[in-house]
Structure 1
């Protein structure tokens, strides 16, 4: 999932997206999502292994992670959930990337940055209320592609 046209298209600062109730399986490399500019609420998803990172971004996006389950891969060098691209730590430490109520398994690490109260800026009607991370397996149990056939309901 790539959100944002390019690192030079600042009009995407208005973008607001929710990624919810998705199961990301083994051997996915990255971009679950990858964000340029804008605001993304990542809520109640199941991340089962990744090769580089689960969530990435550039151009100072705001990413709020709520109630997700992150199961890191065995590779000790890939335990970090987040990857901030094309920015020094001096830059990205001011980006609002927050994790609240997430479950970190197998050594998963979410390096938070920015305002600890960033989620409150987008509260209320702008964000889905999240369930506790231990409920994620039930919430995503039936997620996946629809098996639709022509002339039949999906």
Structure 2
């Protein structure tokens, strides 16, 4: 998921996106999501594999990670949850996330909750139940002519 036109397109500072209830698994490399400008509420997702990073950003995004489960792959160079492209600017925080198998989340910017409260779209559920919340997530199995 690439959210934001480009680092130079500052109109995206108005963007407010929620990424919720997904299972990001084997075969994924990065951009779960990749954020530019704006406010991103990443909540109750299950990350069980990545090769470069899980959540990335540039151009000073605000990333509010809550109640996610980050289970890093066994390979020792694939432990980075966050990728701060070009700098550590922006506001990045992890609250109530379950970070396992050597994974690490690099926070930055504002620590106070007011920076994150303006656009929080939903309350996070405990990260301990993310597996059951996302158990039926995945590709839709729709057929032509049917409704999904």
Question: For the superposition of Structure 1 and Structure 2, which TM-score range results when normalised by the shorter chain?
Answer: over 0.9
TM-score normalised by L of structure 2: 0.93
Tell me the C-alpha RMSD between the 2 structures.
1.5
Equivalent positions of 1:1-154 (< 5 A) are 1-87=1-87, 92=88, 94-117=89-112, 119-123=113-117, 126-154=120-148
* Partner-residue secondary structure (3-state), 2:129: helix
Residue 78 (structure 1) shift? 2.1
Q: Is the 8 A contact 2:39 2:119 kept in 1?
A: no
Stretches of structure 1 lacking an aligned partner (at least 5 in a row): none
Decide whether aligned partners of structure 1 residues 27 and 147 sit closer, same or farther in structure 2, where only a CA change above 3 A counts. Answer: closer
Equivalent pairs counted in the alignment come to 148
* Partner-residue secondary structure (3-state), 1:129: coil
TM-score normalised by L of structure 1: 0.90
Distance 2:147 2:75 in 1: 43
Residue 116 (structure 1) shift? 1.2
